[in-house]
Structures are given as structure tokens and as C-alpha cells.
């Protein structure tokens, strides 16, 4: 299926590895120019080579910390006319309430709530002007099904095989391809939805 996003520009945050890289790979395979992001230049170099080995020259790396104003600005300057924004970031460390002081809460909120909001704020006007925009926020299952040891992650915004109904971990490419579909032309009427990619483990009804 042609997803209708060839030639679109995509910013994929925290994409030097893991789910972010999988999303960038899937978008690049669909013909998008992807701007991948991270703080480790050597990891980004490897990620660019990995993407380009599959898709050709479709990846640009932006070394930046999106938890800072300067880092977010650098990312937006690199791709000011982004058609697609994939918000992704490392989650807070698990623990207990006694472990999390004021500074820990601020770090969690900055990384998993404020960074995505401020990137959306910076890029949304251009998306509206061009009459095309896709924003996908990668969060944790803890947002919908909280667990006490992940309190920082839950408040601001990943599982053992035996707890997953499918009895296996999801593959990054499964996640990446789902992300690419949500960014597609065909998904233009999908808005404000929470897509659960968890192997059937969510116990709720909605």
C-alpha cells in the first residue's frame, strides 16, 4: 500500500535506537525525509547508516537534547517545515514515592510532558498552513494502566515477557509500521486516538 507520504519531512525524536529508530526507518521506507535525533553522535551516525542502507540518503541527524530549549530549537531549525512529528523520549527511572524528590519530578515532567508539548507548539502553525500534519506521541502503557513503581512515568506521561498476553515482546518494526500508517494519507480522518501496541495485555475495555 502506498501511504501517500513520499516526499514529506518527518522529525523523529530520540531515534538513534529502539522504537524511535524503528519509526524513522518505516517512514524513510515510505519515502519521507527523516530528521533523527539524540544526544549521542556516534549512535546517530550508526542509525543514519542503518537507515540509508535500506532506503538510500533519506536521513539527517540532529544532535540535540530535546529536554532543553536550545535542543528543541536546534531540531526545529533543522526541519522547520516538518509534516510529521514523532514525539519520543526516555522514561523516568522506576522507583517509589520516597525516591522522587522535587528535582526528579521536574525532570520527568520536562522530558515526558513539556518537551512534546513545546515541539508541537513550534511546529503546529506550519502544519496548519500547509494543511497537512501528523503528530504521534509515543508514551508508556502506564498512562492507561498505572503501576506504583512507575509513578513518575504515569504522572508525566518497558514489560516482562510473562506479563504480555501474546507471550512475546513486540518487534520494533511492528511498532514502526504502525506509526507510519498513522502518518499516512489514509489516516487523515484519525485524530486524538490512543493505539495500544501491547500484545493484548491491556486489561481495560477502552
Write down the pTM of the prediction: 0.84
Nearest one of 3, 26, 24 to 13, comparing CA atoms: 24
How many domains does one find in the chain?
Answer: 1
Per-chain mean pLDDT for the chain: 87
The CATH code of the domain that includes 38 is 3.40.50.720
Domain of residue 174: give its range: 9-182
Split at pLDDT 50, 70, 90, the class of 163 is: low
In a domain, 192, yes or no: no
Cα distance between residue 34 and residue 93, in whole Å: 29
- Is 13 inside any structural domain? yes
In a domain, 205, yes or no: no
**More confident site: 94 or 83:** 83
Dihedral sign for Cα atoms in the order 190, 188, 158, 105: negative
202 found inside a domain: no
Whether residue 101 lies inside any domain: the answer is yes
How far apart CA 166 and CA 187 sit, in angstroms, is 26
Domain assignment present for residue 131? The answer is yes
Amino acid at each position: 500500500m502506498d501511504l501517500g507520504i513520499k516526499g514529506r519531512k518527518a522529525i523523529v525524536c530520540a531515534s538513534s535506537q529502539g522504537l524511535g529508530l524503528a519509526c524513522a526507518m518505516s517512514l524513510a521506507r515510505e519515502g519521507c525525509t527523516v530528521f533523527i535525533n539524540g544526544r549521542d553522535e556516534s549512535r546517530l551516525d550508526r542509525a543514519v547508516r542503518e537507515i540509508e542502507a535500506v532506503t538510500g540518503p533519506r536521513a539527517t541527524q540532529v544532535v540535540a537534547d530535546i529536554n532543553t530549549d536550545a535542543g528543541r530549537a536546534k531540531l526545529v531549525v533543522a526541519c522547520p517545515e516538518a509534516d510529521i512529528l514523532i514525539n519520543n523520549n526516555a522514561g523516568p527511572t522506576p522507583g517509589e514515592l520516597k525516591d522522587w524528590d522535587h528535582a526528579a519530578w521536574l525532570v520527568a515532567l520536562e522530558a515526558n510532558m513539556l518537551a512534546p508539548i513545546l515541539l508541537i507548539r513550534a511546529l503546529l502553525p506550519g502544519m496548519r498552513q500547509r494543511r497537512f500534519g501528523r503528530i504521534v506521541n509515543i508514551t508508556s502503557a502506564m498512562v492507561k494502566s498505572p503501576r506504583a513503581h512507575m509513578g513518575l512515568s504515569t504522572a508525566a506521561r518497558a514489560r516482562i515477557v510473562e506479563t504480555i498476553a501474546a507471550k512475546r515482546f513486540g518487534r520494533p518494526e511492528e511498532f514502526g509500521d504502525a506509526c507510519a500508517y498513522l502518518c499516512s494519507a489514509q489516516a487523515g480522518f484519525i485524530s486524538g486516538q490512543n493505539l495500544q501496541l501491547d500484545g493484548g495485555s491491556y486489561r481495560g475495555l477502552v
